[in-house]
Amino acid sequence: MAGAEDLKLLGMWASPFVLRAKLALSLKGLNYEYVEEDLKNKSELLLKSNPVHNKVPVLIHNGKPVCESTVIVQYIDEAFAGTGLSLLPSDPYERALARFWAAYIDDKLLPSWTKTSRGSTEEERAEGKEQSAVAVENLEGALRECSKGKPFFGGDNPGYVDVILGGLLGWVRASEELYGINPFDPAKTPLLAAWAERFGALEAVDPVIPEVNKLVEVAKMMQAKLAAEAAGASN
């Protein structure tokens, strides 16, 4: 197992992308040093390690940085192939399906959620809502297809897609309090709703997910700030 000094994760506690990296590390039982970044005052290490995007998460392994959450999760799985769970399956076709759905989550699901909550017009937000409904329906089908009746996208054990989607769980839980919406409505997407409970309760997962009330607090602060700016009030 890697010593704590070999692995460093630069992150921000509320970021779903950082959570993905944490989940992967946790599920594989890897020790690492976590560095909380102040995104309004980014550390030199972060800027140096991710010069292209200046974003978190960044995983630094033996001094070498890896950026982009999906790239990081796959890297963790491959660089520590002998350790803990295998996140990607071994069969090429199942790997392709996993990569497809991971890309779908970032390319279709997330943007639709962002549109729903942060669309600048009523029309845009309604469009986002429609797109979200389609996206979760597709993911419900994906879960059915990938899990084949087993608890996770990865089958008996959580895998790549579970981690990629799992990163969003904090905000999924906060969504109900913030917007009165459960993105994984048990009436419409029963498999996803059950998956969210199950995955969230895992020993390797539960302690890692940021607290919902803290996320709600951050979101409300953000909303208030945006509202104040819109109203033309000074900070």
Residues near another protein (CB under 8 A) = 52, 61, 64, 66-68, 70-72, 74-75, 78-79, 92-93, 95-96, 99-100, 103-104, 138
- Assess contact for 25 and 9: CB atoms under 8 A: yes
Give how far Cα 199 sits from Cα of 2, 57, 71, 142, 230, Å: 25, 21, 21, 16, 39
> Judged by CB, which is closer to another protein: 52, or 187?
52
- Assess contact for 40 and 103: CB atoms under 8 A: no
> Judged by CB, which is closer to another protein: 122, or 203?
122
* Sequence-separated (6 or more) residues with CB below 8 Å from residue 167: 16, 17, 18, 19, 20, 23, 69
CB of 224 to another protein, least distance (A): 27
CB of 64 to another protein, least distance (A): 6
Residue 67 forms beta bridges with which residues? 58
Q: Name the 3-class secondary structure at 9.
A: strand
Residue 9 forms beta bridges with which residues? 34, 59
CB of 102 to another protein, least distance (A): 9
> Judged by CB, which is closer to another protein: 75, or 199?
75
CB of 192 to another protein, least distance (A): 16
CB of 114 to another protein, least distance (A): 11
> Judged by CB, which is closer to another protein: 41, or 120?
120
Count of other CB atoms within 10 angstroms of residue 17: 21
> Judged by CB, which is closer to another protein: 38, or 123?
123
Picking from 87, 86, 110, 235, the residue whose alpha carbon sits closest to that of residue 171 is 110
